[in-house]
Amino acid sequence: MESGQIHMIDVTQKRETERQAIAKGRIQMKPATLKLIRKGELAKGDVLAVAKTAGVMAAKETHRLIPLCHPLQLTHIAVEFNLREKSRAPNSSECSVEITASTKGIGKTGFEMEALVAVAVSALTIYDMCKAVDRSMAIGDIRLVKKSGGKSGLYLAD
């Protein structure tokens, strides 16, 4: 293939199998921001409800956001949050919302991108909902943690 040329992978001859993907990521924030999320006291409303909805919607629209992704028929999408506060050193704490998205369906290609996009958009939504009180939030660690189905079978991250 010449440099600069792109193409969508042809999956016509692949067989349909049940496929699942799980992705994770997180958004770090100040302790006060996490406290506001927990208490539901942010001006824009229920941060986690909006972020969950955004993640589900994003997974369904992945093929519109990532140019070479195939449109897929998702049969299940779940977005979950874990509010974490842990001490790293005596005088500091790390606060974050850990995001987990799982996608499932029957298809000829995997659902990894849909799970990853759900995590990313959920994190961006949390940022948007909280930016008035904490512009220092940092989104990161977005990664695939599990994939099953298809010719390549099971993938589990270390």
Candidate list 128, 134, 141, 158, residue with the active-site label: 128
Active site residue 128: yes
Per the document, the length of the chain is 158
Q: Which residues are marked as active site?
A: 128
